[in-house]
Structure 1
Amino acid sequence: MNYSKQIVRETPRGIIFTDFDGTLFNSERFVTEENFKTLETAREAGYITAIATGRSLFSFRRVADSLDTPIEDYFDYLIFSSGAGVIRSYPGIRGFKTEVTVEDLIEAEGLSPSVAFDAAGLLFRRGIDFMIQKLVPDNHHFVHVKSNGAVNPDYYRRIRIYSGFTEALESADGDSELDQIEKACFKGVSQLVAVVPPGGNTDIDAKYTNELIEYLRHRLSDCSIIRTTSPIDHSSLWIEVFNPEVSKSKTADRLTRSLGLSSENALAVGNDFNDEDMLHWAGTGRTVDEAPEKMRMAHPSAGRAIDSAVASAIQSFITDKKGVKT
């Protein structure tokens, strides 16, 4: 961690974190002008702004570069890969750049090789398909592991999306698949991404998902287990296994404290399960209408993402200068 690279403003009034997909970047795949204007107003008023996304830096950059408006001109920081990495923005030069080195990062966390192998071995024995991602900032490169013969379209679609950056396990005479997995893990791992297809019955899927998450958290107690909905088919379950210090809330907390602020000075806006911990952590947590009902019950919705829910949340937050938990 190197928070000496942080942006330091005089007496920042607070800090604003927003998820990207489904929150700031809506289902129609754009960021509203109202969101941009409100973010600009917040920064001019002395607030720090940050995106907290589950996307890798590479994946985020590909989407950001497709936008008409340079998004980095409205943000001070990008927290990517659910907190595994943090980079500051460089407004005016397409600042959240893809080609970065470890020296460019404020924070980069990975799994130890032995822990990564233990976790990968558990997923493999459970018959769960997964990917072994390289270390940040190169974690758009991965080795894919098909652990069973079941149909898993989302798994294969992710491989196709990252064509040119993926590879199958290296085969060698006498090596078992677990031997090959171990070799991949000892090359450096940022996270594992498990892809679990939906079963077709919502109630059964929910029960299975909850039991699987609890099982993995129990067996992999020295890891951070993060659940999210696939951004590809919007129905498969993704389970990401990280260093125990990685989550949106833990990384947001370290960044916030480095700026002389606390969680009570923070707003967080999100729409999916990988945002829950950040919403609980922030002094003010807000969802969008598209978020799961359970999340909206715990954290009020600021409206539909496509109707500039982020702007609405920021405007309300700024009105309450203290950011008291609501």
Structure 2
Amino acid sequence: MQEQSVIFFDIDGTLLNSKKELPISTKESIFKLKELGHVVAIATGRAPFMFEDLRKELDIHTYVSYNGQYVVLNGEVIYTNPLNINTLEKLTEEALQNDHPVVFMDHEDMKANVPHHPYIKESIETLKISHFPTHDPHYYKGRELYQSLLFCPVGEEIQYEQKYDDFDFVRWHPVSVDILPKGGSKAKGIERIAKRLGVSPERIYAFGDGLNDVEMLSTVQNSVAMGNGEELVKEAAKFVTKSVEEDGIRHGLEMVGLL
């Protein structure tokens, strides 16, 4: 029997294809990993409420969400890293003047600071989730937020990057950018879980395809980039598998010897 490993999977473009569907080969591979005694986990930029159905379908209870800011092990929250609310308030005031809406996100919900905006609709709809942000401009007050979304065209986030040192900005859509606590990443969330489980670095694996996966794939010893991933992502990974549309998860797991 193989020694137990922990395998982290990104969601969009990794577990799910471009239509936000879970390939049959991927689902079968996940359950095969579990049968072999491995720990299967998710590492995503999504909020916990954005992939609850997927966790149920795959029977997964360990995950790194919000790009490392909200970490859960076997259903228990083991680490949180909230945004600096004072700084976020200042950024939001400036963004409002620039017609750049902001969505505030905690572990349970997300609220927009404007009632409607085409950028919010355009980007959130690509996730194909049932949850859509409703309007509450004061949602940030009196609660911990683990990520926010800034909606602006490519290049216009630079003005915020230069001014707000408490945050990292990671683009995930042509009109939307993740706002994260400075230095927060999937890699750090994975580190928390590995430490709790007492798993050695050589038994940790990670699969991803997006720019928010670069640090994870360059840090984790056994890293696999999806064939549909961006070039920077492939350069960061130790292995490159086929695309998610070509049974890339199963192929990658076979490539690294887990299946």
| Bigger proportion of residues as strand | 2
Matched, 1:128 2:97: no
Give distance in 1, aligned partners of 2:94 and 2:202.
Answer: 38
Q: 2:152 — aligned with what?
A: 196
Give distance in 2, aligned partners of 1:255 and 1:15.
Answer: 9
Deviation, 1:168, is: 4.6
> Quick check: 1:226–1:247 contact (8 Å CA) kept in 2?
no
Deviation, 1:255, is: 0.9
Q: 1:166 — aligned with what?
A: 134
Q: Map 1:216-255 onto structure 2 (within 5 A).
A: 216-229=160-173, 236-244=174-182, 246-255=184-193
**Cα-to-partner distance string for 1:143-188 (whole Å, 9 max, x where unaligned):** 3248xxxx9633134499645x51153xxxxxxxxxxxxx553332
Give distance in 2, aligned partners of 1:252 and 1:237.
Answer: 28
Deviation, 1:303, is: 0.1
What is the TM-score with the length of structure 1 in the denominator? Answer: 0.66
**Cα-to-partner distance string for 1:88-109 (whole Å, 9 max, x where unaligned):** 457xxxxxxxxxxxxx533333
Question: What letter matches 2:203 in structure 1?
Answer: N
What percent of counterpart residues are identical? 19
Deviation, 1:129, is: 2.4
Give distance in 2, aligned partners of 1:116 and 1:130.
Answer: 10
> Quick check: 1:194–1:239 contact (8 Å CA) kept in 2?
yes
Give distance in 2, aligned partners of 1:314 and 1:37.
Answer: 12
Aligned pair in 2 of structure 1 residues 276, 237: CA closer, same or farther (>3 Å)? farther
In structure 1, the residue corresponding to 2:51 is in which secondary structure?
helix
Aligned pair in 2 of structure 1 residues 64, 153: CA closer, same or farther (>3 Å)? farther
Of 106, 120, 135, the match for 1:155: 120
Q: Map 1:45-64 onto structure 2 (within 5 A).
A: 45-62=36-53
Deviation, 1:281, is: 1.2
Aligned pair in 2 of structure 1 residues 196, 263: CA closer, same or farther (>3 Å)? farther
Give distance in 1, aligned partners of 2:162 and 2:199.
Answer: 33
Give distance in 2, aligned partners of 1:156 and 1:36.
Answer: 30
Question: What letter matches 2:246 in structure 1?
Answer: D
Aligned pair in 2 of structure 1 residues 12, 115: CA closer, same or farther (>3 Å)? farther
Question: What letter matches 2:33 in structure 1?
Answer: A
Aligned pair in 2 of structure 1 residues 220, 264: CA closer, same or farther (>3 Å)? farther
> Quick check: 2:4–2:37 contact (8 Å CA) kept in 1?
yes
Deviation, 1:71, is: 1.2
> Quick check: 1:18–1:310 contact (8 Å CA) kept in 2?
no
The answer to which of 153-162 and 279-288 deviates more is 153-162
Deviation, 1:297, is: 3.4
Aligned pair in 2 of structure 1 residues 76, 191: CA closer, same or farther (>3 Å)? closer
Structure 1, unmatched stretches of 5+, are 1-10, 91-103, 170-182, 198-204, 230-235, 321-326
Q: 1:5 — aligned with what?
A: none
Matched, 1:36 2:27: yes
Structure 2, unmatched stretches of 5+, are none
Q: 2:248 — aligned with what?
A: 309
Question: Aligned Cα RMSD in Å?
Answer: 3.1
Aligned pair in 2 of structure 1 residues 12, 145: CA closer, same or farther (>3 Å)? farther
Q: 1:77 — aligned with what?
A: 62
Give distance in 2, aligned partners of 1:115 and 1:132.
Answer: 13
Q: 1:288 — aligned with what?
A: 226
Aligned length: 252
What is the TM-score with the length of structure 2 in the denominator? Answer: 0.81
Q: 1:7 — aligned with what?
A: none
